[in-house]
Chain A
Amino acid sequence: MAALSEEVLLVVKRVRQRKQDGTLYLMAERIAWGPEGKDRFTVSHLYADIRCQKISPDGKAKIQLQLVLHTGESTNLHFSNESTALKDRDAAKDLLQQLLPKFKKRANKELEEKNRMLQEDPVLFQLYKDLVVCQVISAEEFWANRLSINNVDHSLSNNKQEVGISAAFLADIRPQTDGCNGLRYNLTSDIIESIFRTYPAVKQKYGENVPHNMTEKEFWTRFFQSHYFHRDRINTGLQDIFSECAKQDEKGLKSMVFQGVKNPMVDLLSLEDKSLDEGYGSNSTAPSTSNTNKTVKENSNSAIIKRFNHHSTMVLAAGSGKKAQTVCFLSKRSWHFVIKCCGVFQVKIQDVIEYEDLHRENGKKTVALNLKKSDSVLSGSALCTASCAIAALSPGGVLMQALAQQAINQMVPNDVQGELKHLYTAAGELLRHFWSCFPVNTLFLEEKVVKMRSNLERFQMTKLRPFQEKVQRQYLSTNLTGHLEDMFQMAYNKFHAWQTRRMMRKT
């Protein structure tokens, strides 16, 4: 049993399941129950499979915990130790409460991913309907190699790409009046993360103060009271722990401004060739920079403007993560710019002065496939059959004869065409599964190929036959499914050949 290497987080004795006494184990990745006196588990659920837990109401005599799985099944656990039943149940419940969300995320992600794929790809969705919903193959089989392909880039991107931050995340914290002269802010962990990522200074403050100086709640209360959050309020007191954040932001902004911009086309400072000297010009009433001249309102207005610029900058920076990553966002235009730091301006200008449409079109550049040794590529036996198949499918080839004279779309109504298309994709998918088992060199593949063959047969019976009959009822002459059947036959032949060879080897 793998349980030996697993970490056991909680053990609860005297838990009944199906009227049998036993022990409940909560482990790192799963929950398990084994009957008294036996050393194996009769019930074992991965946390990821559990949708939720339910508990019996407090007043009830039986103290129970129900685990509902994603599949809809449920397991009832009855805590029967009279004296500590309630305590036991609550301990288990609390632990589960902590554990489940962690796994839920993972499970959800997978589900979400599957969902997304189905939504984005109507063909796949149809296939899913044809194969899984009609129970030709199981969902796991269906996803088996799809997700694995997907998992590769998924896991790659999963590690690196973070979700961007909504620019309006602060707006989502709508304060509600609680009826007694107070405001209530709803914070979710997403929003908190957004705040931390956008305003690292706040995160730092959080780290410094929570939990030694104040509770989390107190921290956020202060945050929302601070002028930092309400940027239009002018900084008044020094006791505000966030006044330092504002200063830090200011400093960061200043240093960014001082660094200047990389793109000379937007550098307003160097735009003018020769600015007028001080004192010349018609409206150079030397803008009074001293704050004394400004009213409080003006000050707060410019604070708002600064805040928006800063906020957007920070959101943008948080979204693009590290410097290196920003590169990939830039389109071709700025690519030049990143690569060639010295010749930046030239490139930019070249881009700007170029009138694309005034040039004669040079034709789209295509890359020709250049096979050095085409013989060796084509010599493989598999490829031989492939080229045969291509020949057969080419106009004038064997398989094209039936359809060559009249195009299919002129003879067959649209709904039948659509159905045929679905059949083709589904059959193609099944056949892909089937052929991917070859060469059969593991036990697993052996099992799979057998299963696949039966799947094929089932498909032929449940889907193809009815269709054929339907077609025959309407169009006696045309053989729409001939090619499909050929493909199936080909697969059966292959399976047969493989099976006989295996029998030979065995005997």
Chain B
Amino acid sequence: MKLNIEGLLVYFPYDYIYPEQYSYMLELKRTLDAKGHGVLEMPSGTGKTISLLSLIVAYQREYPLEVTKLIYCSRTVPEIEKVVEELRKLMEFYSKETGEKNNILALALSSRKNLCVHPEVSSLRFGKEVDGKCHSLTASYIRAQRHSNPSLPSCRFYEEFDAMGKQVPLPAGVYNLDDLKDFGRRKGWCPYYLARYSILHANIIVYSYHYLLDPKIADLVSKELSKKSVVVFDEAHNIDNVCIDSMSVNITRRTLDRSQANVETLQNTILKIKETDAAKLKEEYRRLVEGLKEANVARETDIYMSNPVLPDEILQEAVPGSIRTAEHFVGFMKRFLEYLKARLRIHHVVQESAPQFLKDIFEKVCIDRKPLRFCAERLRSLLRTLEIADIADFSAITLISNFATLVSTYSKGFTIIIEPFEDRTPTIANPVLHFSCMDPSIAIKPVFERFQSVIITSGTLSPLDIYPRILDFRPVTVASFTMTLARTCLCPLVVGRGNDQVAMTSKFETREDFAVIRNYGNLLLEMSAIVPDGIVAFFTSYTYMENIVASWYEQGILENVQRNKLIFIETPDAAETSMALEKYQEACENGRGAILLSVARGKVSEGIDFVHHFGRAVIMFGVPYVYTQSRILKARLEYLRDQFQIRENDFLTFDAMRHAAQCVGRAIRGKTDYGLMIFADKRYARADKRGKLPRWIQEHLTDGSLNLTIDETVQLSKHFLRQMAHSIHDISNCNVQCFCQLNLSQEDQLGLSLLTLEQLQSEDMLQKIAQIAHQA
């Protein structure tokens, strides 16, 4: 259908539209008009992605000079591919409706592992190996060496691309990862570098957060993207953690030992080169004197050594004299390492700020701030000069140099914590230096400053006002959209008590309580008897799950659960968990039914959807608070309090509730889906917790569904499931009352949660739609 969104013609590739999609597009359009940033929350399964794409593509066509590029960031590879497929659908609709060929170039970019077509390299299993192998074939100096020694191995795909690929731009179209690979194979060009090159002139790019948020990568990949781009962060509920992760460094004794070895290798190599090719080192020295702003010719393949500091803070000055010669730099690094080693030799926890650290290092070993800042850059230059082939080996020293640069660049927003041992094992010395970023806005700041519109969107962003605060930006639109439903297909219930009236909670004081564990077990057992197909249960942490599973096993609860369903459990090992997941789905498919025990904040809770029968019920055992005893967290809370006036408890609750919402939201992936959401902790009934759930869940959480006992829960669930289980056919024979309530055939959804174009144009519908968006 073609829509008129405040004067903008939008092609929407479906015959009907959900009211909230329309509302979403309205808000989005206003954001783009204002050239500002937006925070939009809309439940998953209501077609967020297609709404975003339809509107932004339409906007791009209408105002090609205002918005030149759409940068769509998603979190996982399957998500990225999904977005591209939706985009393809949209483009097909465009060419069908307008009859003309699209001249839009859209492509996905992913790591080498997902794009490489080199037969040997792509067969490697881990991303790091692929990167390393690729690097050893395509690094600039390796290719330079090949000029003198043609027998060295090369990657023909890269060579072909380098020779031919840049002359003609990639023809317009939509390229998913597989399309890029196909194209690359056909042309004999490397798809990875082709994609990286093509994003410069592509209209739409879909890639993962890291390419924009991790300064080490962003500098290389996304540096030259146009300012007039619209950036979308989808599934952005965890964006602050991504930002923090990309800026934080941990140094263990092992890192230092490996760095030590690295330094020695460097030293030996320097000596060797000095004997054979002293000119090379001299040339490097000359370059360093001139400054770091060297031409970036043929450097694209040297992905490893990019600066951890942000693009616009790249140093314009020349490298200070004290580390300019190779020997001096190596000596400098040695000193730095010795200092770090000494710092790790402690018996009590130390916490200090970056300036304190710098002061201490100056006093103890006379290392100045300035050369430290240039460490990463200097190392990068040295490694290139020394033409070291297997760069992956130098990850330790690179880490150290990145740390040096970061610690000397940022005086605020970071903390240094040195712990002599893990809290759980105080007898085993395992010193770690955490250089921890506490301020997510540092990493994302350049994104907000550089691009004209940044949209942060997800199914769960409540409470909406907290994101602008912790990311430190001023949005022009902040809105939450509910899911309009013809039938209430989600059923949130808060179970607060067991049948014995003992409160159910994962509160620290009572979580090991026998009665609590037993009640949790009974809840699972009862649900396993009444819920069809799949049940997913989330625990607050892995250790907690282990303990509970063990005591359920001892009490024989799991045996009884097994009478109803098979049990699969998430483990810390990703491969093992993947297999458990697949078997879980198999068991749901063949009708046996299964239970998956999983962990909030784990990989499953973040990346796996349990559509339809794969998740008819989600049970959230407890409130998934983060482990509050961690010093890093404490430092972060303190920082948030001082800098952003966010109270500790508010943040902790917010963080717990967003994860809980993520977990329970896994089961509802659309309007035709249905599922139970069981919050098994009495604390969920409190207003401060409940109020932080997304609006589309809160709406259905009535007073009657709070603080239930297990029996009451079972009754309500049975009722809900029975209602939902009526299929469309059953209902058409049912009486009229039933019909309105349950039938999900299109006629009944129409006008309520599904609109035709005509309906959309009517006055009162537009008024209704205006209510869907809830301005924060």
A residues whose Cβ falls under 8 Å from a Cβ of B: 164, 166-168, 170-171, 232, 253, 256-258, 260-288, 292-293, 297-298, 300-302, 304-306, 308-309, 312-313, 315-316, 319-320, 326, 329-331, 333-334, 345-346, 349-350, 352-353, 355-361
Contacts and interface: CB of A to CB of B under 8 A. Distances in A.
A275 to B, nearest CB: 7
Contacts of A288: 422, 425, 430
A406 B176 CA distance: 67
Given A280-B248, A285-B250, A353-B89, A168 B571 contact: no
A360 to B, nearest CB: 4
A349 B18 CA distance: 21
Nearest to A290: B428
Contacts of A309: 568-569, 571, 576, 579-580, 583
What 6 pairs across the A-B complex have the smallest Cβ distances? A171-B559, A358-B14, A329-B590, A273-B208, A168-B562, A167-B562
Contacts of B250: 279-281, 284-286
Contacts of B241: 282
A281 B434 CA distance: 9
Contacts of A281: 245, 248, 250
Nearest to B604: A268
6 contacts: A263-B585, A273-B114, A281-B248, A285-B432, A355-B47, A357-B672
B574 interface: yes
B472 interface: no
Interface string B92-130: 000000000000000000110110000000000001100
A359 B14 contact: yes
B77 interface: yes
Nearest to B595: A312
Contact of A274 (B217, B571, B671): B217
Contact of B562 (A171, A352, A356): A171
Interface stretch (B184-192, B503-511, B545-553, B718-726): B545-553
By DSSP majority rule, is chain B's interface helix, strand, loop, or mixed? Answer: helix
A287 B210 contact: no
Contacts of A313: 579-580, 583
B114 A282 contact: no
A330 B613 CA distance: 13
Interface stretch (B79-87, B339-347, B363-371, B660-668): B79-87
B178 A346 contact: yes
Interface in B359-383: none
A320 B210 CA distance: 42
A166 B563 contact: yes
B454 interface: no
Given A270-B77, A282-B632, 8 more contacts: A261-B579, A266-B582, A271-B603, A273-B210, A275-B127, A280-B245, A312-B568, A331-B589
B431 to A, nearest CB: 11
A462 to B, nearest CB: 37
B607 interface: yes
Interface string B531-569: 000000000000000110110011010111011011111
Interface in B401-455: 422, 425, 428, 430, 432, 434, 436-437
A273 B85 contact: no
A315 B580 CA distance: 13
A120 to B, nearest CB: 18
Contacts of B558: 308
A345 to B, nearest CB: 7
B252 interface: yes
A278 B395 contact: yes
B22 interface: no
Q: Which of B17, B80, B579, B585 has the most CB of A within 10 A?
A: B579
A268 B581 contact: yes
A287 B607 contact: no
A345 B594 CA distance: 24
Contacts of A306: 571
Nearest to B403: A279
Contacts of B574: 268-269
B420 to A, nearest CB: 13
Interface of B: 14-18, 47, 49-50, 75-78, 80-82, 85-86, 89, 110-111, 113-114, 127-128, 178, 207-208, 210-211, 214, 217, 241, 244-246, 248-252, 254-255, 395-396, 399, 422, 425, 428, 430, 432, 434, 436-437, 546-547, 549-550, 553-554, 556, 558-560, 562-563, 565-569, 571-583, 585-587, 589-592, 594, 603-604, 607-609, 611, 630, 632, 670-672, 744, 746, 749, 754
B568 A271 contact: no
Contacts of B207: 273
Given A268-B604, A279-B399, A359-B14, A261 B592 contact: no
Given A167-B563, A312-B568, A262 B16 contact: no
A276 B246 contact: yes
Contacts of A267: 578
Given A288-B422, A309-B571, A356 B672 contact: yes
Contacts of B432: 285
B86 A361 contact: no
Contacts of B553: 232, 304
A321 to B, nearest CB: 11
A321 B299 CA distance: 55
B566 A268 contact: no
Q: Which of B110, B396, B582 has the most CB of A within 10 A?
A: B582
B15 A360 contact: yes
Contact of A352 (B82, B110, B396, B604): B82
Given A263-B582, A279-B399, A357-B749, A305 B571 contact: yes
Contacts of B585: 263, 266
Given A263-B582, A279-B251, A268 B746 contact: no
Contact of B550 (A170, A269, A304, A320): A304
A168 B559 contact: yes
Contacts of B18: 358
A279 B49 CA distance: 34
Contacts of B586: 316, 320, 326, 329
B546 A261 contact: no
B407 to A, nearest CB: 14
Contacts of A171: 556, 559-560, 562-563
B211 to A, nearest CB: 8
Contacts of B248: 280-282
Contact of B587 (A268, A271, A283, A312): A312
Contacts of B111: 273-274
A293 B18 CA distance: 54
Contacts of B255: 279
Contacts of B252: 279, 286
A270 B310 CA distance: 28
A285 B251 CA distance: 9
Contacts of B422: 285, 288, 293
Given A167-B562, A280-B246, A345 B81 contact: yes
B436 A282 contact: yes
Nearest to A348: B78
Nearest to B255: A279
A473 B434 CA distance: 99
A476 B110 CA distance: 86
Given A266-B581, A284-B250, A309-B580, A316 B587 contact: yes
Nearest to A281: B245
A247 to B, nearest CB: 17
A272 B14 contact: no
Contacts of A261: 578-579, 581-582
A405 to B, nearest CB: 28
A266 B207 CA distance: 20
A304 B553 CA distance: 8
Given A268-B604, A349-B78, A357-B671, A167 B579 contact: no
B210 A308 contact: no
Contact of A276 (B245, B583, B603): B245
Contacts of B581: 261, 266, 268
Contacts of B587: 312, 316
